[in-house]
Chains A and B, each alone.
Chain A
């Protein structure tokens, strides 16, 4: 009893110290796998997006966009003219998809899921798309074309193009007219003035090699950068200043997502999730200046996409198809994982 009270006292002191000094202790991964959905075929899931209203999640599988409800039940699907390389939820019932070849932006409506308009893109095969709901801006990235195209979110009309150098990876927009891109070749974040669609400079990333995952907290103005050498950098976007570095998995191609209250309204204030290799890392936000490792979840195969669906308290992940498997092999295709709060988080 005495020992227990000492431990409790020590714990309280540690917690107080942590609160006062900003040192936060890493905890267990906050999610557990609730549903595992096996998909047919060998095409990987290249993108995931939580849809409007948070009631559905959309997956880019080969040349299709497929919808799933929150329990993982498959819904409708729509075929596009080529392999879908990026997905982003838009305003209202809108969903954006980009197709690599032929290079196109496809604007879809999700009720029901159907194509509204399909527009040709001319700055290289698009590899990703991002929609900024605050600034109402839509961007398509082309790794092959070393470019970013700004598009009209309503019509898909091209508003501007910026050509960049290096290996362009994940994008994030700040809601105020600035777009950031992880540049794996230049070990930096490229900064784009979205109004002028011009390169305004880069943010160096100290001791970060091959950055690829990028997410942003637009309220706290923090950029979360997943680096290939096993580091997660948290950057003050206003100063270009890295103030936290945390260990994560080493992987060549990472995807990151940030959300406030990612587990629903109870639990974490904010969290960033980074996937790419056969693991998912969590970064827990305690305050705008205080972050800590939030645990790691091992996967059976490399992750190819992730999406946070905070309104449902879910994190969605896509695992790659099993290597060297045939199309008919059972369980060889890609898998979707629906993660909900772990028992510890759910009981809070």
Chain B
């Protein structure tokens, strides 16, 4: 029996490691050939669709990609999606008719019905703050501005598929056009944005099991795209000799982005991790041998010294070789290491910008280093901060985290929603990372105060810095490690396991 349990555990560890090895720890896009023949339900306004519209063109395009297309009117019941592999919601469907009927359907949804975003939980409910449709009649000047968008994320599968760069690109062909934007919740991934603002996402996604903006959990993948009723045919593309120019190729990517996002939506998502601390433990042990961890702390410090010692002991018990360095030691001590972990006992002032460019995976336990490590912007209290620090924070101590990225192996298989991180309320740090980061947990009720997140290698971080290896934030303040619940410890280990993978 024990052998069976151990075998299963080893299998779990293998799956976990395989997931961690993938770029960004996400599943790859399925080849088009694997998607051919799948059924797409295209929901339009039917006879009530505004004219002109591109629904027929979209249907033709989907068929050309190999899908079998079934159409339904906005008024059709959600059961219309039975047997479909993908639901596509056109903006021609009346959002009030659509309501939230597809919100809980465990089928991927690809939508450009901006007014329906709140019904699906993709954004908050407030027009102009959480979502908006720019159109040439109401917003003539802005309808030119939406002909351009910025690549916000360069490491997602969609971004990699189109070679998205952190720069401007052409969304639609040159006419003042209708386009929508939304502000996703922290569980969402912004792929491209308007106006250089991640709060004005042109294209954004939710992985299956990610927490939506309204707190519900995505039952399948969700994609929001910036199109209007009749501008599918104006999605940018380049052909002929001009396509040999790499700048033009990375400029006119609207159609490629549409196709890649569509393909991502309908590709199989990664398996949902299960909460199994022993499997994570086994996973770490299988990779720890021969790996050297540089643990940077305030040597012989006061508060937190015991916690630091216990973390070091834990890492050693897993099989790592741990070298402890004082915060004032030169960065060269990282040479030959496999992972750098910066303790919350370190003083930002004394650390003096070290380790930001180190080409090793790095975990910061100190959220206040988030600006110097390029995790976020430079505005303390807006871009990063802390809860519960007496005299330094207006916010009360906290002991819970809100899991919003349950799909990621960094979430240790914990279910979406609140999880008790420490036994007692204490200081918890946070930062608001850029769209390339995968956010695992926020502080409760604070969607932009992200307590656990990770940047994959190659991610665009603050100030245009490109992550030379994985980067992660854990919110443990000086003594918190000793106060962690088993769930907190599992998160700690899962983040270590993910980070050392790249």
Contact = CB atoms under 8 A, between A and B. Distances in A.
Most central of A21, A241, A245, A288 by chain B CB within 10 Å: A241
Contact of B52 (A23, A191, A238): A23
Interface residues of A, number: 23
A298 B422 CA distance: 83
Interface stretch (A56-64, A198-206, A248-256, A301-309): A198-206
A20 B140 contact: yes
Interface string A180-208: 00000000010100000000111110000
B241 interface: yes
A241 B254 CA distance: 12
Most central of A17, A239, A240, A289 by chain B CB within 10 Å: A239
Contacts of B140: 20
B52 A240 contact: no
Contacts of A239: 236-239, 242, 248, 252
B104 interface: no
Given A239-B242, A240-B242, A240-B243, A21 B237 contact: no
Contact of B240 (A20, A204, A243, A290): A204
Contact of B173 (A16, A23, A240, A243): A243
Given A22-B176, A239-B252, A201 B244 contact: yes
A20 B234 contact: no
Interface in A42-89: none
Nearest to B248: A239
A239 B250 CA distance: 12
Interface string B222-261: 0000000000011011111111100010001000000000
B136 interface: yes
B175 interface: yes
A239 B240 CA distance: 8
Contacts of B175: 21-22, 289-290
B137 interface: yes
B173 A236 contact: yes
Interface string A13-28: 0001100111100000
Given A239-B252, A243-B174, A290-B175, A21 B136 contact: yes
B252 A241 contact: yes
B240 A289 contact: no
B241 A200 contact: yes
A96 B263 CA distance: 54
A288 B236 CA distance: 16
B246 to A, nearest CB: 14
B137 A17 contact: yes
Give the interface size class of chain B: 20 to 34
A22 B176 CA distance: 8
Most central of B237, B240, B244 by chain A CB within 10 Å: B240
Interface string B171-187: 00111110000000000
B240 A21 contact: no
B174 A20 contact: no
Given A22-B176, A289-B173, A290-B175, A240 B137 contact: no
Given A21-B137, A239-B248, A204 B239 contact: yes
Contacts of B173: 236, 241, 243, 289
A236 B240 CA distance: 11
B259 to A, nearest CB: 14
B333 to A, nearest CB: 52
Contacts of B242: 238-240
B244 A241 contact: no
Contacts of A289: 173-175
A17 to B, nearest CB: 7
A21 B175 CA distance: 8
A20 B237 CA distance: 23
B185 to A, nearest CB: 33
A80 B223 CA distance: 67
Contacts of A189: 240
B234 A243 contact: yes
Contacts of B234: 243
A319 B239 CA distance: 36
A191 B241 contact: yes
Nearest to A20: B136
A241 B239 contact: yes
Given A201-B244, A239-B248, A20 B176 contact: yes
Interface string B372-409: 00000000000000000000000000000000000000
Contacts of B236: 239, 241
Contacts of A200: 241
Contacts of A238: 242, 248
Nearest to A178: B241
A238 B238 CA distance: 8
Interface in A126-168: none
Given A20-B140, A289-B175, A241 B238 contact: yes
Most central of A201, A202, A204 by chain B CB within 10 Å: A201
Nearest to A236: B173
Nearest to A200: B241
Given A289-B174, A289-B175, A241 B137 contact: no
Nearest to A23: B52
Most central of A21, A200, A204, A236 by chain B CB within 10 Å: A21
Contacts of A236: 173-174
B62 to A, nearest CB: 15
Contacts of A201: 240-241, 243-244
Contacts of A202: 240
Contacts of B238: 239-241
Contacts of A245: 233
Interface in B127-174: 136-137, 140, 173-174
Nearest to B228: A21
A255 B22 CA distance: 55
A245 B239 CA distance: 16
A288 B240 CA distance: 21
B240 to A, nearest CB: 3
Interface in B29-65: 52
Interface of B: 52, 136-137, 140, 173-177, 233-234, 236-244, 248, 252
Given A189-B240, A239-B252, A289-B175, 15 more contacts: A21-B136, A21-B175, A22-B175, A22-B176, A23-B52, A191-B241, A201-B241, A201-B243, A239-B238, A240-B241, A241-B173, A241-B236, A241-B239, A243-B174, A289-B173
20 contacts: A16-B137, A20-B140, A21-B136, A22-B136, A201-B240, A201-B241, A201-B243, A202-B240, A203-B239, A236-B173, A236-B174, A238-B248, A239-B237, A239-B238, A239-B242, A239-B252, A240-B239, A243-B174, A245-B233, A289-B173
Interface of A: 16-17, 20-23, 189, 191, 200-204, 236, 238-241, 243, 245, 288-290
